[in-house]
Amino acid sequence: MKLTKFMAATAVAFAFGTFAFAESAYDVIKKQSTLKAPETSQAIMLMDNIEKNGTVEHRIMNQYGNRKNGLINTVFEFKTPASVKDTRVLQQEKTAKEDDRWIYVPSMKTVRRIPTGERYKQFVGCEFTYNDMAIRHVDADDHEMLDENATATIKGKTYNCFKIKSVPHKKSEVEYSYRIQYIDKVSYLPMMIEYYDKKDQSKMGKHYTTDGYREIKTAKGAYWFREGATIENVLTGRKTVLTIKDVKFDEGISDAYFTQSWLQTGKAK
């Protein structure tokens, strides 16, 4: 009799969704945030800022990254146009506290730390924010599985995804009220993200897509790599398209790149 009641209760639980998802939203986001990273990375990033009227500003920047004790450091160096040339940004991942982010602006000739309260702002004038350019900690949000068998179609290709709603604990530190992510079941990369407006949570504020990915293998491992991304400000019609070229993994980079000294001088001694 007890077994019969247990089986009946289990059947009801399945029917009403208690055990609806084999993999929890938290587990999926955790896998996403802990994807294997190379020891070092180098790439050229082509950035197009496209205004609503179609005007395009082309930018080129170099990106360098390394992984130390499981934590990722990343630097960006703008090469063109003249308005942002030699602007450099350093991001240092931390374990038990907020990541450190620093920026060098040539016109000011000083290195400035980007405080947590400013990281929702545009990344050097593009539609990506400083938050977008870094890895978000899994415990910074509450995560809810909306659909375990969702799809996202990007540039004619359809990806099988987990659809997850992520609500930030500290809304003052982000530029949205919540986001809905479509996370690819093969790579665990976010293929599409919908950011909802702070003032009107029924409206989408920004829309992001990963514009293709592939696996890169080296002697030290295999890594999923995003070939490009697009983010559009739905409210203004402005968007930024990022294309990543000449990627090199695990080829060695001087630690000097990931210092405030390099930010100011551009020289890795």
pLDDT in tens, 1-55: 444 433 333 333 333 343 445 689 999 999 998 888 999 999 999 999 999 999 9
Residue 119: how many other CB atoms lie within 10 Å: 21
**SS3 category, 82:** coil
Does residue 8 lie within any of the structural domains? no
* CATH assignment of the domain containing 185: 2.50.20.10
Does residue 143 lie within any of the structural domains? yes
Q: Tell me the C-alpha distance between 82 and 107, whole Å.
A: 11
Q: Tell me the C-alpha distance between 129 and 233, whole Å.
A: 11
Closest CA to 36 of 250, 191, 245, 261: 250
Does residue 1 lie within any of the structural domains? no
Residue keyed to tokens 């800022």? 49
* pLDDT tier for residue 162 given thresholds of 50, 70 and 90: very high
CA distances from 268 to 15, 44, 64, 256 (A): 60, 18, 12, 5
Buried b / exposed e along 47-59 (16+ C-beta atoms within 10 A): bebbeeeeeeeeb
What is the domain count for the chain?
Answer: 1
| Cα-Cα-Cα-Cα dihedral sign, residues 214, 216, 222, 228 | negative
How many Å from the N-terminal Cα to the C-terminal Cα in the chain? 76
Residue 243: how many other CB atoms lie within 10 Å: 15
Q: What is the mean pLDDT of residues 83-100?
A: 88
Is 247's pLDDT higher than 80? yes
pLDDT in the model for residue 117: 82
| Phi then psi dihedrals of residue 258, to 5 deg | -100, 45
To 5 degrees, how large is the angle CA 50–CA 100–CA 196? 45
Cis peptide before 81 (omega within 30 of 0): yes
Contact partners, residue 221, CB within 8 Å, separation at least 6: 36, 38, 250
Sort 197 into a burial class: Cβ within 10 Å, 0-12 / 13-18 / 19+.
Answer: middle
Q: What is the pTM of this model?
A: 0.87
User: Quick one: what percent of the chain has pLDDT higher than 70?
Assistant: 91
Does residue 11 lie within any of the structural domains? no
Return the minimum-mean-pLDDT range out of 62-76, 89-103, 247-261. 89-103
> Domain range spanning residue 92?
24-265
Does residue 19 lie within any of the structural domains? no
DSSP 254: -
Q: What is the mean pLDDT of residues 208-227?
A: 95
Is 158's pLDDT higher than 50? yes
**SS3 category, 171:** helix
| Cβ atoms 10, 18 nearer than 8 A | no
Does residue 215 lie within any of the structural domains? yes
Does residue 3 lie within any of the structural domains? no
Return the minimum-mean-pLDDT range out of 87-91, 133-137, 141-145. 133-137
Tokens of 234: 């739905």
pLDDT in the model for residue 172: 86
| 212 or 7, higher pLDDT | 212
Does residue 171 lie within any of the structural domains? yes
